[in-house]
Structures are given as structure tokens and as C-alpha cells.
Amino acid sequence: MNQLQIDQLILLTIKRLGINGEGIGYYKRLAVFVDNTIPGEVVEVKIIETKDKYAIGEVVKFKETSKERITPPCKYYDKCGGCQIQHMSYAEQLRQKQLLVVEAFDRYYEGNLRKIRFNETLGMEYPWRYRNKSSLPVRHDGTKVVVGMYAKNSNHLVYIEDSMVENELITKKRQEILDVLTKSQVDIYNPKSKTGSLKYIVIRGFEETNEED
């Protein structure tokens, strides 16, 4: 039975990451999920949601922070739900991804886990601008056509001009498309009235060959 209450304050040590990038600590053996935390950090947490087998909290104060904590480079990081672990150094991101694989095998693999060798996660020299496909919802903000990403666990759209994970060719071409749409009579989808024909813009761009569609 969940012993935690909404708005209750607890002190929590983050033990590991969840599959969605959230930190997980334990209060009397009950898992508590907390966004924007790193394993090893000690945080004061306010409970915002309770379930039978877990709870969700938000950080009120950091008591001990990880040496792997960095300032997220994306200006939309704390607004949209597109990226979850930019608050970690890239080296720590790779390490945590490896641990997620190990934990998955530990939970579901029925063989001898000691016979399996888990290699380190391969990283990139420059871990940005790598995505060559973008699919984003379209809206009209009153003056122009825009795109965005949904805030986490929400249908609220955060308008985005540039994403650090997509390549620059996509960003450039999308803005050209948005400029054309702003000047055109295309009927943009309105979620409130559920009218309009254009809901998404999908672009693929390959900088190596300068191709896009």
C-alpha cells in the first residue's frame, strides 16, 4: 500500500534511471520517480502523484548534486518533452544507457548473466544535429504558422524554432516551408475546434548529399 500523500515532502537518494530518463529513488521500498535527477543525487522531493505501487515527485531542493550534472544546452529543455537527460554529461548519458541494458537483462533474461559481456555504449564525437527526420505538429499562432513539440504528459504545444538534435538542413528547409504556409491559404489544424487539414510537417534531410523531401 502506498504510504505517501500528495504534497508530502520527503528526502530521497536517487538510485537509478528509469526507461524514460527519470530518476528513481525508494521510500520505504516504494519507487518514487523524479524528473531531472541523476543517480547518486540527494533531493528533497514533493509528492505530486501516487499510485498503488509507485509515486511521482518533483524536486524542491537539491541536497547533493552529481558531478555529472551540466546545464542543458537546449533552451527548450525544461519546457518540451522531447529530450529527458540533457542535464547529464554525455559520458554519463552513455554510462546510464549501458546500465539500462544490464538491468533489462537482469530482470528478463533467464540464462546465466555472468556469462554475458556488456560493452560500453558507443557515442558520437559531436552528439548534436544527428537526426535526419523531423515530424512536428503544426499550428497557427495568430500571425504565422509554427511547429512545436508537446510538453511532457500534455497536449500543450511548445513552439520550437530550432531543435539541437535535428540537422541544420532540416531546420533551414522547415523554416522555408513555414514561411510559404504563412503566406498561403492552407487550412492549419486547430485542436480546439478540431478543424483544419494540415496537422504535421514531416521532413527528411541528408546533409551529406544535400537531399531533402
Could you read off the pLDDT of 50-64 as tens digits, one per residue? 999 999 999 999 999
Average pLDDT score over the chain: 94
Question: Per residue of the chain (213 residues), what is the pLDDT tens digit?
Answer: 678 999 999 999 999 999 999 999 999 999 999 999 999 999 999 999 999 999 999 999 999 999 999 999 999 998 888 889 999 999 999 999 999 999 999 999 999 998 999 999 999 999 999 999 999 999 999 899 999 999 988 888 999 999 999 999 999 999 999 999 999 989 999 999 999 999 999 999 998 887 677
CATH of domain 9-64: 2.40.50.140
Domain definitions of the chain by residue range: 9-64, 133-212
Angle ∠(9,100,117) on CA atoms, nearest 5: 145
What is the residue whose three cell numbers read 500543450?
A: 156
pTM for this model (two decimals): 0.87
Task: Count the Cβ atoms, other than its own, within 10 Å of residue 164.
Answer: 19
